[in-house]
Structures are given as C-alpha cells and as structure tokens.
A and B are shown apart, each in its own frame.
Chain A
C-alpha cells in the first residue's frame, strides 16, 4: 500500500525544493518574463492544476501524464501542459469572448519524465497563447516577445531557430508511408542524419512512392539549417513540392518582418526542426543560448488543436522552462542576495510587536529576534 520502503527524509525522484537565493532568483526571472508578457497586453490566466484526462489525450503527452481516478470514477490528470488546458478554456468558459485571445500563464506542469538538465517531473513553464491570431503577424509577434524575454532575463548569445513543419509534411505528402516508417523518417530528419534518412527511405522503396528526387530532397532537408540564406537554398531545392514551397513562403514572411524589426541577427533557420508536440501545423521555433546544451523555450503554430474542443481557431504560442532559464542566466546579473532586515528584540512581546508593526508601516523589513526555540 505504501509502495517501496524509503527513509523518512527521502524524496521521490523528479521533485525539487527551492529556497533562499535560488528561490529569489527564480522569482526574479519569473517576474521579468511575466512583465514582458504584460507589456505586450497579454492577460494572465491561472488554470486548474488538474482536469479530465481526455483534455491531454495527445499521443506525445498521454504516456507522460499523471492520471488518477476521481471520487465519481472519472479519470483525471495533473496538467502535463498548459496549451491543451487553455484551448479547452477558450472553447468553453471563454466561448463568448471574441477572438483573438491573448493569454499567458506561469506555473508548474507535472510529467513522468526521467530527470535531466532542468527537466524534472515537476517543471515550471511560463508561456503565452495567441488564440485566433493569424500569421505572419501573430507568428512574428510571438517571436518578438520571446526575444524580449531572453534579453529581459539576461541570456547571452541566444538564437531563435525557426522552421516550418509544412516543409517536411510537403515533402512526404505523396509518399505512402506506414506510421512507424514516417516516425522513423521524422526522427532521422530531426537528428540531421542524412545517411539515416536514406536508410529509412531505402527500406520503404518504390512501393511507398519514394522517388530518387524525393530521397534527395529529404536528405537535403537534413542540411538546411543555418543562416537566413537557407530559405533561398530550400526554395530552389524543393521547387517540385508546392506544399513545401508554400510553407517556405509563410516562413519567409515571418523572417522578413523580424529582420525589419531589428531581430535578423538573432534568427537561425532550421528546416529539419520537425519534432515537437504532435499538434504543430505551421511555423515552429526553439530558443537556444550559449551556456546550456538544451533549448530553453519552444513554440509554434497549432491551427487544429482548438477544433478538438469545439472552437476552431488558428493559434500560436510558446513557453519557456523556468528551470532551464535558471540554469542559463548569468548568476551575477540576476543575483538575488537577501535584503537587509532590521532586528527587533521580542523578549518583551508587546513592545517588540508594537515596534515591528511601526517599522512595517514605514515599509521596513523586520526580523523579530529572541523569540526562537
């Protein structure tokens, strides 16, 4: 009944506890990011910690979700993600509110996940969703806000690597691939493993509709990452695939807007960026910075998710992991030493309390002393 035996002070794997300087620093990062969200006129939403499990029923999230049975027998889940929850709320509670809805959140999600560099079972995510926002305007806005957040927390040498799932989808559209072969292909493209892409397509062969031009194009996709000129190379390489060309056009419009807004030198193009949660339908991005080997944030366009909840709206959003940002940001720049406090003796309880209340009323920080065990 009690599971495996454990020591009295043992903690379960994946949980974290912060205090002192570390807690203050996390709070400071959160405040800065949230103030950027507020500055772009996004409205805070504090969604519930748990909801019916079917809200989170995507193939990527479901296996990582903590579920439990409610008293009425319904299957519930601790939120593994905010986006699905916000989509549900936009379609339900906020159904009468006209689109677009600009919402942001900051809070914990819970996932079964092996602990790994700032990715615990309990993760603090800070993000926003622009529901009803259409591209390229809303897409470019999203990237500009993400960029401002990275500056606001003092991240160094950061880059936003942008891609578009429509390029990969356009290249495979004509192929008759089994789901597992498609997944292996996607995984090899994501790894930028050209040899692996050829292997996967080789096992599918001509029966799957694979042509030599198709093999070359998908192999080429693994090389199309770098500066903005990658977009031109891709347009030339994928001329035979109109859906891929259309996706490149959308990406180009976003990139042009960001260059005009002064963010061109912060952009990288990565057309092999094809993973992510299964709900992305358009542009996608990941934020990287020097000093941490993992992305610190990610996002993209997901135009079909809200229809699942009965309010078909295009949407775009992103999130940062607070745990990752805390690993990344310059500890000096965001150092949060404990503020000074005035010691007030409290041996005389009434006198001490009276004095402390007077100091508090004057806005001072006080520490009652002498009353401890």
Chain B
C-alpha cells in the first residue's frame, strides 16, 4: 500500500510541487478537480489547508504539508520533522493606521481566521479579548467596525496598506512544514523515512 500525502490547493501548492519535483518524488500531473490522485507509488489527497493536519493526525493520510500558522491553530498532535522553507509569512496583529492602542481598552475585539492563536496571544498577556471568527476577508473587519484589530497572516503587507491597516506586532512566524502521523512514522518506518530523507535533501 502506498503512502498517502495530504496537500492543500491553497498558497502552498506551487512550492510543494517544486519541492517534490526537486526531490524527484512523484507528483500528480494536471489532476484537474479530482481530490484523490495516485501518482507512481504515492497517493495524494487535496483538502482545505486547515484540514491537512486533521487528515494526518487521524492517520487517513500518513504525511502532509501544512503551514506552521495552521499547525498553531489546529494544535494537532503530529510530528513536524521538516521546515520546508517556503511559504514564509508572519502571523501578526494589525489595526487601523493611527488608531489608539487597543490594549488600553478593557476588552479587545479581534477578527481572525485563527481564533485559538488570537485568543491565546492576548490572554497570555493578561488582555481580555473577544474573538470574532471569520472565514476570509479579515482585513475589512476593522474598517467596517466589526473589530478593533485583526490577527492574520501577512506576506508582503500590501493588502494591509490597501485596507488602511498597519502592523502592530508579530504573533508568530510561519513556513511550510512536513507533518507525519505518529503511528505511520513507526508502523511504516521505512517508507516514511525514505520520504522524509528525500524531502530533507531537496530542502537542504
């Protein structure tokens, strides 16, 4: 039985494909809309980025590629043996340019796709927080009065500027990680070790 790899079709896909090609590992060619694709001894699942750690944690996929930002949010119990180096971004707090320091308010209202990370960040510093969970377009929230600030990933910062926001502080840095199911790591040791070694060489 071949190893199953969970990937997302989101922003990490191009980097993942480049890495697999560099490592001379199979990768599906023009797979179209299919969500389960076999390619020369590997089986690929294409799922939502926030779901990649879940598929791996439950062992439905043996391995996967997920951003550290997603792993922080899902807090999945998986091995993370490789920092793959691509997909670099930062999770940060941003608020409207020139707005008063939100930390003086008794409770900060924050819009985010990362409720666990966001609430953890503020609560750890003794700041009460109300998290507004959004599925996307988080940058709009402060301007429309839905939230005082946002916690989101930023690569270049352009979207922030276009929405009248400025970065206030970093919460975490992120990059793509190889993740491995804990049982697969041991029960399918040889196959998993070969995959990890191939990706490690291609990353180095």
Determine if chain A interacts with chain B.
yes
A294 on interface, CB distance cutoff 8 Å? yes
Number of interface residues of B (CB under 8 A): 22
Q: CB-defined interface of B155-199 with A at 8 Å, one 1/0 digit per residue?
A: 000000000000000000000010011111111110001000000
Question: How many interface residues does chain A have, given as a range?
Answer: 20 to 34
Q: How far is the CB of B179 from chain A (nearest CB, A)?
A: 9
CB distance A290 to B187 under 8 Å?
yes
Please, which residue of chain B has its CB at the minimum distance from the CB of A268?
A: B186
Most chain A CB inside 10 Å of its own CB: which residue of B56, B182, B188: B182
CB proximity to B under 8 Å, residues A185-223: 191-196, 222-223
B139 on interface, CB distance cutoff 8 Å? no
Pick from A191, A193, A226, A289: contact of B183, CB under 8 Å = A289
Q: How far is the CB of B191 from chain A (nearest CB, A)?
A: 11
Residues of A within 8 A of B193 (CB): 226
Known: A227-B189, A268-B189. A193 touches B81 (CB 8 A): yes
CB distance B58 to A293 under 8 Å?
yes
Please, which residue of chain B has its CB at the minimum distance from the CB of A269?
A: B186
Q: How far is the CB of A203 from chain B (nearest CB, A)?
A: 12
B115 on interface, CB distance cutoff 8 Å? no
Residues of A within 8 A of B59 (CB): 292-294
CB distance B81 to A222 under 8 Å?
yes
Pick from A191, A223, A288, A289: contact of B78, CB under 8 Å = A191
Q: CB-defined interface of A283-299 with B at 8 Å, one 1/0 digit per residue?
A: 00010111011110000
Pick from A158, A196, A286, A292: contact of B80, CB under 8 Å = A196
Pick from A227, A270, A293: contact of B57, CB under 8 Å = A293
A31 on interface, CB distance cutoff 8 Å? no
Residues of A within 8 A of B56 (CB): 293
Q: How far is the CB of B87 from chain A (nearest CB, A)?
A: 14
B73 on interface, CB distance cutoff 8 Å? no
CB distance A158 to B79 under 8 Å?
no
B60 on interface, CB distance cutoff 8 Å? yes
CB proximity to B under 8 Å, residues A292-329: 292-295
A-B contact count (CB 8 A): 61
B17 on interface, CB distance cutoff 8 Å? no
Q: CB-defined interface of A251-289 with B at 8 Å, one 1/0 digit per residue?
A: 000000000000000001010000000000000001011
Pick from B57, B60, B180, B186: contact of A288, CB under 8 Å = B186
Residues of A within 8 A of B60 (CB): 293
B130 on interface, CB distance cutoff 8 Å? no
Residues of A within 8 A of B185 (CB): 192, 225
Residues of B within 8 A of A289 (CB): 183, 187
Please, which residue of chain B has its CB at the minimum distance from the CB of A270?
A: B186
Residues of A within 8 A of B51 (CB): none
CB distance A293 to B189 under 8 Å?
no
Known: A226-B193, A295-B182. A290 touches B188 (CB 8 A): yes
Q: How far is the CB of B5 from chain A (nearest CB, A)?
A: 14
CB distance B183 to A294 under 8 Å?
yes
Q: How far is the CB of A111 from chain B (nearest CB, A)?
A: 16
Q: How far is the CB of B53 from chain A (nearest CB, A)?
A: 11
Q: How far is the CB of B92 from chain A (nearest CB, A)?
A: 17
Pick from B83, B177, B183: contact of A293, CB under 8 Å = B183
Q: How far is the CB of B148 from chain A (nearest CB, A)?
A: 28
A117 on interface, CB distance cutoff 8 Å? yes
A87 on interface, CB distance cutoff 8 Å? no
Residues of B within 8 A of A295 (CB): 182-183
Q: CB-defined interface of B17-42 with A at 8 Å, one 1/0 digit per residue?
A: 00000000000000000000000000
Most chain B CB inside 10 Å of its own CB: which residue of A191, A270, A286, A292: A191
Known: A293-B60, A293-B181. A161 touches B80 (CB 8 A): no
Q: How far is the CB of B120 from chain A (nearest CB, A)?
A: 13
Known: A292-B59, A293-B58, A293-B181. A192 touches B187 (CB 8 A): no
Q: How far is the CB of B88 from chain A (nearest CB, A)?
A: 12
Q: How far is the CB of A86 from chain B (nearest CB, A)?
A: 27
Q: CB-defined interface of B74-111 with A at 8 Å, one 1/0 digit per residue?
A: 00001111010000000000000000000000000000
Known: A292-B59, A293-B184, A295-B182. A194 touches B81 (CB 8 A): yes
Q: How far is the CB of A163 from chain B (nearest CB, A)?
A: 11
Q: How far is the CB of A115 from chain B (nearest CB, A)?
A: 13
Residues of B within 8 A of A288 (CB): 182-183, 186-187
How long is the Cα–Cα vector from A1 to B72 in the complex, in angstroms? Answer: 37
Residues of B within 8 A of A226 (CB): 189, 193
Please, which residue of chain A has its CB at the minimum distance from the CB of B61?
A: A293
How long is the Cα–Cα vector from A290 to B59 in the complex, in angstroms? Answer: 9
Known: A293-B181, A293-B182, A294-B182. A157 touches B79 (CB 8 A): no
CB distance B186 to A192 under 8 Å?
no
Residues of A within 8 A of B83 (CB): 193-195
How long is the Cα–Cα vector from A234 to B78 in the complex, in angstroms? Answer: 23
Q: How far is the CB of B54 from chain A (nearest CB, A)?
A: 10
Please, which residue of chain A has its CB at the minimum distance from the CB of B58?
A: A293
Given contacts A225-B185, A226-B189, A295-B182, 4 further A-B pairs with CB under 8 A are A159-B187, A192-B79, A293-B184, A294-B59
Residues of A within 8 A of B (CB): 117, 157-159, 161, 191-196, 222-223, 225-227, 268, 270, 286, 288-290, 292-295
